[in-house]
Chain A
Amino acid sequence: MTASLVVTASPHVRSQDSTPVIMWNVVGSLAPVVAAAAWFFGVSGLLVIAAAVVGAVATEHFLGRGGTLADGSAAITGLLLGLALPPGLPLWMACLGGAFGITFGKLVWGGLGQNVFNPALVGRAFLQAAFPVAITTWPPVGGPFWALKGDLFALPFIRPATDAITSATPLGLLKFEGHATRLLDLVTGATGGSVGETAALVILAGGAFLAWKRYLNWRTPVSILLTVAAVSALIHLIDPRRPDALFMLFSGGLMLGAVYMATDLVTSPITNLGRWVFGFGIGVLVVVIRIWGGLPEGVMYAILFMNALVPFINRATQPRVFGSRGAKAAT
């Protein structure tokens, strides 16, 4: 029997969760969000998501180290990118965004786990910078399921035919028309906006599931949402013309961003204290950009900016080593 002995390093037992399990659970938890997207934006929403996923996954497959598709992270990137795009966006743009996000948000950094910026948001920020008009053109919610919104099938490099009927997002309306959307519509998601951002409650449910399974750290979203609520409530108090906390919480990409994007393990702090700081920073930035910034929405930029701070936050929030009290540092 000696021949067939297995020799591994200690510890010889391991907890159940593995990285792919975590990732695929996140994918699973996004299914309801995708369903909601289909409900609100019909086939157009699904097509945009699909295009983004294809872009991300294909790039990971052809440029990646190989065999890394199985860990599921590329799929998440594609999904979340797709969910953060407007329903009528030409598919080639969505696809390009996915490819860009994976290539320059992940692969050049060394692949899974090495990147500092959230790949999906790198992809989205690129799209927003490259095609600002297309990505801020919002087809109205609802309509028949099979209706093709916007100019989905525009050819690459060709300016999409601007859709006659476009709506505006609650944030756009607020910033540029000074008109606030009904809270009920915000909560039920019956508003213009990105494919997956409008179904706030579904997103929260998915987040709750992941938090319960400990696949995402609840501190990050909680501290983001609390901060946004607190800060905007304060500002609303000082100047009632400013939107109130509930509007802030349920409009724009905040929910999706706070629950699924700020919580990306790789690009958020590793210490719990750090996660509180991270969330606080995002919350403040979101409110500041939404109220005083030029852009109507700032979730993406807030997260990207705080991503850049993560290495610094990690440094600053290292726990005190056991027994190093009394400044007796071991070396």
Chain B
Amino acid sequence: MTTAGTAVAEPPDVAPAAPDFVPGAPPPASVAADIWRGITRENPVLVQFLGMCPTMAVTNTLANGVAMGLATLFVLTGSGLIVALFSRYIAHEVRITSYILIIATFVTLADMILAATFPDISKALGPFMPLIVANCLLLGRAEAFAAKVGPVRAVADGLGMGLGFTASLSLLSSIREILGRGSILGHDLFGRRFEPWVFMAMPPGGFFTLGLALLGLAFIIEVRRRRAARAA
């Protein structure tokens, strides 16, 4: 699903039509460009609005956010690589199923590894860890990108998207942890006299923080546009 283009379209009033799967490989680009794109112009969270659920659910502390981000990065890269390698052997009809299978495999791996290495974080993320499977971002990239390019670019894209995802999650979760608990990565920042904004640590705070980020982004873009307009 080539969403970057539609990133500016107004919300559709019905479920969007099925995109066509005519294999049209994305325009060639350097590895660096592939990575950079994912972090900035096609940022999965702030621009493409993918994987909202994990974004919201686990960004109440920075540790959770980063963990989720890195796990997703791992899955993206891994599944991207495998898909890129084998897509040409996978029959068209069972394409999606196979992708889901591949992704689910990597997610399970990530889940188990996290549980073995960082039990507390794993406990905190709970079911949201395996939920990465459902994150549209992965299937989207596998379908729209990895399947149509070579392994190198697939991995690069996975890295880019993953880093972009991690960056956004880190941003949101640090805002929420600092304001909501007065701490960062669990380290107390302002001492006991600080009055935390419980709001930030709660569900409305999740939506609110992302909203704030989007407003800020839009504001910057708008200012830039105005400047450009004045220059022209």
A interface residues, Cβ below 8 angstroms from B? 104, 108, 126, 129-132, 134, 154, 157-160
Q: Chain A: which residue is nearest B204 at the CB level?
A: A129
Q: Which residues of B line the A interface, CB within 8 A? A: 190, 192-195, 197-200, 202, 204-205, 208, 215
Complex partner residue of A129 from B192, B194, B198, CB under 8 angstroms = B198
| Contact between B199 and A126, CB atoms less than 8 A apart | yes
Q: Which A residues touch B192, using CB under 8 A? A: 159
- Assuming the contacts A158-B193, A159-B193, asked whether A130 and B215 have C-beta atoms less than 8 A apart, the reply is no
A157 to B200, CA, bound (A): 14
Return B139 CB to nearest CB of chain A, in Å: 32
- Nearest first, the 3 A-B pairs at minimum CB distance are A130-B199, A129-B199, A159-B195
The contact sample of 9 A-B pairs, CB cut-off 8 A, is A129-B198, A129-B199, A130-B197, A130-B199, A130-B200, A131-B195, A157-B190, A158-B193, A159-B193
Asked if B193 and A130 sit within 8 Å, CB to CB, the answer is: no
Q: Once the chains bind, are A131 and B194 in contact (CB under 8 Å)?
A: no
Whole-angstrom CA separation of A32 from B208 in the bound complex: 36
| Inter-chain contact A159/B194, CB cutoff 8 Å | yes
Chain B residues, CB < 8 A from A158: 193-195
Q: Which residues of A contact B198 (CB under 8 A)?
A: 129-132
Task: Tally the A-B contacts, defined by beta carbons under 8 Å.
Answer: 29
Residue on B nearest A129 in the bound complex, by CB: B199
Q: Report Cα–Cα, A55/B197, bound state, in Å.
A: 18
> How far apart sit A311 and B200, CA to CA, in the bound complex (Å)?
28
**B53 nearest CB across to chain A (Å):** 21
Q: Distance in Å from the Cβ of A86 to the closest Cβ of chain B?
A: 15
Q: Which residues of chain B have C-beta atoms less than 8 A from A154's C-beta?
A: 195
> How many angstroms from the CA of A157 to the CA of B195 in the assembled complex?
5
A130 to B199, CA, bound (A): 4
A131 touches B193 (CB 8 A): no
Q: Which residues of chain A are within 8 angstroms of B190 by Cβ–Cβ distance?
A: 157
How far apart are the CA atoms of A129 and B201 in the complex, in Å? 10
User: By CB atoms of chain B within 10 A, which of A104, A129, A158, A159 has the most?
Assistant: A129
**Cβ contacts under 8 Å, A104 to chain B:** 208
Chain A proximity of B141: nearest CB distance (Å): 32
Q: Distance (Å) between the CB of B190 and the closest chain A CB?
A: 7
A108 to B204, CA, bound (A): 16
From A108, A154, A158, name the one whose CB has the most chain B CB atoms within 10 angstroms. A158
Closest beta carbon of chain B to A124's beta carbon, Å: 12
Query: How far apart sit A104 and B212, CA to CA, in the bound complex (Å)?
Result: 10
In the complex, A130 Cα to B200 Cα: how many Å? 7
Q: Please indicate the chain A residues that have their CB under 8 angstroms from the CB of B215 in the complex.
A: 108
CA–CA, A134 and B195, complex, Å = 10
**Residue of B whose beta carbon sits closest to that of A96:** B197
- Which residues from chain B contact A134 at a C-beta distance below 8 Å? 195
Complex alpha-carbon distance, A126 and B212, angstroms? 15
Nearest CB to that of A128 among chain B residues?
Answer: B199
Bound state CA distance, A330 and B198, in angstroms?
A: 53
Q: How far is the CB of B213 from chain A (nearest CB, A)?
A: 14
Name B195's closest neighbour in chain A (CB-CB). A159
Q: Chain A residues near B202 (CB, 8 Å)?
A: 129
Q: Least Cβ distance of A78 to chain B in Å?
A: 20
Q: Tell me which residues across on chain A come within 8 A of B205, comparing CB atoms.
A: 129
Please, which residues of chain A bring their CB within 8 A of the CB of B204?
A: 129
The residue of chain A having its C-beta at the shortest distance from the C-beta of B205 within the complex is A129
A108: chain B residues at CB < 8 Å are: 215
**A154, B195: Cα distance in complex, Å:** 10
Query: Which residues of the other chain, A, contact B208 by a CB distance below 8 angstroms?
Result: 104
Name the residue of chain B whose CB is nearest to the CB of A93.
Answer: B195
CA distance A131 to B200 in the complex (A): 11
